[in-house]
């Protein structure tokens, strides 16, 4: 077929460069396909950058020893709860900022951004103090041995005490996404990751002039990296170099607005926690079938999370488009953005599903696990992949409701799909009906398809278009 013409290649490169470096596109006017791509490209990369923190930390901590790895795993299980609160606040923040930007009210957007930051700092300080003060107790509660507590409590103390960097990184990126400045959110995570990658081996292993801190070095590097990313975000926000500028008068505490944002985020926090907690329920059922089945399931889930990051990025794009277009008084354009984004998401997850269904053994084999583990992981990828064409719509519709400020609807949908349907069905099929692990995998597929169908029906009903925030 040959290579594309030079003019076409330069046009593609110019578009990608615009998406990554920043665009002044008005997302309430013009081509929706172009708007989706301009938002999705940096958001997809942003999701990859966020996951890179855990990958880098795990790689270098593995060189310290099994107690260090256990410390990280136990601490991250607690941090997941903090992440859930931060993500809930972020969902609300994106909705408020996007709505004000769509109304062509940058003053209101800046004021909402400042209130979100205040809320994040308050919640982070409280959780940080409680977490850092009780780090050894938390590790003991999670089942850590005394050896792990003695060697790893410093890591846990610093990670929980430094949770303000997690909150602010999430919240500030939510501000930029709501403003339509997704490239700024990406650049801040690139800065944070570069510093984390550079400092991790130095502080963990004691390279050059750096002290050898072991697993504690990972916490120091991560917090310095995230903290630098936050400073970069704040500089951009107060300097006005992006789409939004927060000035001195915007920082005045507004209890009424802060309460509205917090109230809206309560449902979003519960929504996130429902999904995270359901994972524990599924793991508990899978554990009934032995360590090999559990390990295979774990490898499959890790693969799935990485593989669908672009789908999450596109879903985040629709939240910005829905929020801004509702603010601009264009509900039909907001709905149209859902259908177009869902179609693109379906194409992407269709290719992902093709790989999962046709070569799952090869994919799981990349981890080089025990041969007895591969069949379980491969079966999970294959069966879950069958539902991906529909699941693409589930991801998009959930984020569309969140972007509209209707966090209650996806919370109720998630509660039904994951706890009323998925977990009982997994137990029924896997244990009672005797299908074993495959029964659990089919329960996941059925739940994902149900999420999509319910989401599409609720989008068509259109009640989300009338939400006021």
Q: Tokens 């006005």 correspond to what residue?
A: 240
> Averaged over 235-250, what is the pLDDT?
89
Task: Quote the pLDDT of residue 294.
Answer: 85
> Averaged over 274-299, what is the pLDDT?
84
| C-beta neighbour count of 37 within 10 angstroms | 17
Written as one string, the DSSP assignment of 184-248 is: HHHHHHHHHHHHHHHHHHHHHHT-TTS---THHHHHHHHHHHHHHHHHHHHHHHHHT-SS----G
Spatial neighbors of 222 by CB under 8 A, at least 6 apart, are 53, 57, 159, 162, 196, 200
CA 32, 305, 89, 45 torsion-angle sign: negative
Task: Quote the pLDDT of residue 48.
Answer: 76
Cα gap 46→378, rounded to integer Å:
28
Q: Tokens 């409701």 correspond to what residue?
A: 401
Per-residue confidence band for 409, with pLDDT thresholds at 50, 70 and 90: very high
Task: Quote the pLDDT of residue 446.
Answer: 97
pLDDT at 47 over 70: yes
Task: Quote the pLDDT of residue 337.
Answer: 96
> Averaged over 286-314, what is the pLDDT?
84
Q: What is the pLDDT of residues 159-172, one digit of tens each?
A: 999 888 988 998 99
> Averaged over 72-90, what is the pLDDT?
82
- 273, two tokens: 């926690």
pLDDT at 76 over 90: no
Task: Quote the pLDDT of residue 82.
Answer: 83
Average pLDDT across the chain, whole number: 88
Cα gap 213→349, rounded to integer Å:
42
Spatial neighbors of 259 by CB under 8 A, at least 6 apart, are none
pLDDT at 121 over 90: yes
Report percent pLDDT > 70 for the chain: 96
8 A C-beta contact, residue 286 and residue 298: no
| Number of helices (H), then strands (E), in the chain | 19, 0
Task: Quote the pLDDT of residue 323.
Answer: 95
Task: Quote the pLDDT of residue 9.
Answer: 56
8 A C-beta contact, residue 214 and residue 80: no
Q: What is the pLDDT of residues 53-63, one digit of tens each?
A: 767 776 777 77
pLDDT at 5 over 70: no
Cα gap 230→451, rounded to integer Å:
35
Written as one string, the DSSP assignment of 354-370 is: HHHHHSHHHHHHTT---
Read off the pTM. 0.87
Query: Closest by alpha carbon to 75, among 219, 228, 197?
Result: 219
**Terminal-to-terminal C-alpha distance of the chain:** 52
Cα gap 225→195, rounded to integer Å:
5
> Is the backbone of residue 180 left (phi > 0), alpha (psi -120 to 50) or beta?
left
Per-residue CA distances from 248 to 85, 239, 252, 253, 430 (Å): 27, 11, 8, 11, 58
Task: Quote the pLDDT of residue 4.
Answer: 54
> Averaged over 302-328, what is the pLDDT?
88
> Averaged over 261-269, what is the pLDDT?
90
- 382, two tokens: 């294959």
Q: Compare 3 and 120 and report the one with higher pLDDT.
A: 120
Per-residue confidence band for 469, with pLDDT thresholds at 50, 70 and 90: confident
Per-residue confidence band for 466, with pLDDT thresholds at 50, 70 and 90: very high
> Averaged over 423-450, what is the pLDDT?
96
Report percent pLDDT > 90 for the chain: 51
8 A C-beta contact, residue 293 and residue 150: no
Per-residue confidence band for 1, with pLDDT thresholds at 50, 70 and 90: very low
Per-residue confidence band for 369, with pLDDT thresholds at 50, 70 and 90: confident
Q: Return the domain boundaries, the chain.
A: 32-253, 267-469
Cα gap 427→389, rounded to integer Å:
25
């Amino acid at each position: 077929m040959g290579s594309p013409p030079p003019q076409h290649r330069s046009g593609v490169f110019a578009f990608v460069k615009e998406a990554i470096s920043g665009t002044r596109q008005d997302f309430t006017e013009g081509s929706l396909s172009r708007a989706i791509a301009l938002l999705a490209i940096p958001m997809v990369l942003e999701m990859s950058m966020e996951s890179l923190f855990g990958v880098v930390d795990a790689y270098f901590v593995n060189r310290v020893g099994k107690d260090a790895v256990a410390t990280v795993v136990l601490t991250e299980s607690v941090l997941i709860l903090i992440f859930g609160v931060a993500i809930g606040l972020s969902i609300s923040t994106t909705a408020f900022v996007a709505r004000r930007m769509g109304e062509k009210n940058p003053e209101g957007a800046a004021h909402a951004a400042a209130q979100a930051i205040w809320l994040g700092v308050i919640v982070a300080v409280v959780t940080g103090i409680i977490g850092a003060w009780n780090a050894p107790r938390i590790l003991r509660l999670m089942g850590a041995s005394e050896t792990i507590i003695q060697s790893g409590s410093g890591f846990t103390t610093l990670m929980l005490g430094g949770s303000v960097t997690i909150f602010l990184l999430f919240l500030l990126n939510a501000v930029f996404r709501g403003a339509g400045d997704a490239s700024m959110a990406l650049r801040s995570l690139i800065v944070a990751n570069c510093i984390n990658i550079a400092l991790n081996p130095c502080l963990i292993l004691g390279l050059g002039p750096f002290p050898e801190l072991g697993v504690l070095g990972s916490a120091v590097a991560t917090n310095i990296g995230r903290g630098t990313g936050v400073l970069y975000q704040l500089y951009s926000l107060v300097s006005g170099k992006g789409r939004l500028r927060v000035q001195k008068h915007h920082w005045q505490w507004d209890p009424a607005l802060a309460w509205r944002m917090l109230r809206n985020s309560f449902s979003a926090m519960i929504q996130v926690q429902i999904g995270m907690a359901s994972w524990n329920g599924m793991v508990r059922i899978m554990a009934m079938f032995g360590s090999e089945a559990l390990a295979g399931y774990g490898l499959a889930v890790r693969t799935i999370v990485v593989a669908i990051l672009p789908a999450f990025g596109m879903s985040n794009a629709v939240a910005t488009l829905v929020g801004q277009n509702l603010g601009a008084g264009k509900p039909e354009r907001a709905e149209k953005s859902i259908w177009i984004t869902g179609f693109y998401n379906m194409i992407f997850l269709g290719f992902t599903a093709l790989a999962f269904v046709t070569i799952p053994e090869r994919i799981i084999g990349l981890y080089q696990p025990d041969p007895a583990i591969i069949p379980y992981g491969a079966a999970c990828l294959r069966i879950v992949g069958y539902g991906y064409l529909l699941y693409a719509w589930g991801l998009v519709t959930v984020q569309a409701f969140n972007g509209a400020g209707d966090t209650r609807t996806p919370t109720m949908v998630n509660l039904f799909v994951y706890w009323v349907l998925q977990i009982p069905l997994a137990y029924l099929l896997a244990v009672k009906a005797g299908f074993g692990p495959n029964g659990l995998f089919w329960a996941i597929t059925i739940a994902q398809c149900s999420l999509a169908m319910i989401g599409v029906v609720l989008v068509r009903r259109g009640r989300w278009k009338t939400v006021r925030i």
